[in-house]
Amino acid sequence: MMHLRLQKPPEETGTPELLAIRGVRKAFGDHVVLDDVSLEVGRGDITLIVGANGSGKSTLLRCVAGLTSFEGSAKILGQNPRSAARRGLIGYLPQLVALPESVTVSEVIAFFARLRGMSLRRPADLARAVPLPDGFLPPLDLPIGTLSGGMRRRVALAAAIIGSPPLVLLDEPDASLDEEHSASLWETMQALRSAGGTALIAMPLLVTSLLRHDLATVADRAVLLEAGRVVHDGSLGSLRPTLALGSPRLMSVGSR
């Protein structure tokens, strides 16, 4: 079983939740993407943000990561996520990642390590810094341009969680991963949870994905977004009956 050591937050604020999202609204022109989204995520919680394409999942993660402006607030231990003091506490994996094709796997990992104030001088240092099972990463000397889509995804995931930041934001992290590496991903999330880490994970509204046994053992909670609003907030199991029946109206599992 994997064991992780999380980065220690710079200071404690007395707030019980690690992440507090309150009244978040985001619009692009007249198109409202997020509409009054509020939720709190405690330390050590693995929360799924579930929804169909266009429901606002990716935008919500970008708001929490401090990468886009929005109305309302998103706080990490009471602090704005854009604060320089909090940059080292967030690991973020976007849905689409563009890595320079001429650099090697080890150079990508070392670059993101330096952003977190870490120095990786030896392969053993890299292995300790990236909390992933052996064999998850492609060979370190391979250029990114030679890697398949799934391999690139694995490198991007490693870059997001290097140093085991207390808050991890993952946008459809198992996209392009084969079954073996997908299982390794959720094993890593289980270890993160056991170590007291917190994750917000966007997942597509697919029955085959959400009924996975390994996902059910990791996720504490599932928040369902529809048209930018939270329509359900509860256990993953509470979504399963509706998903298994293939109901076209997922609004029925919760209320506005």
* Residue 164 confidence (pLDDT): 82
d(CA 169, CA 67): 12
* Residue 249 confidence (pLDDT): 45
Report all structural domains of the chain as residue ranges with CATH numbers, in order of start.
17-93+166-253 (3.40.50.300)
N residues, the chain = 256
* Residue 85 confidence (pLDDT): 42
Tokens describing residue 225: 């977004």
- Positive or negative, the CA dihedral 33, 36, 41, 46 is negative
CA-nearest of 126, 133, 134 to 104 is 126
* Residue 255 confidence (pLDDT): 35
* Residue 130 confidence (pLDDT): 77
d(CA 110, CA 87): 17
Segments in the chain below pLDDT 50? 1-4, 10-13, 84-85, 247-256
Distances, alpha carbon 80 to alpha carbons 9, 68, 71, 148, in Å: 14, 13, 13, 36
* Residue 115 confidence (pLDDT): 83
**pTM of the entire predicted model:** 0.85
d(CA 94, CA 98): 10
d(CA 1, CA 8): 22
Q: How many CA atoms lie within 13 A of 23 on its CB side?
A: 3
User: What is the rounded (10 degree) CA torsion for 194, 195, 201, 204?
Assistant: -30
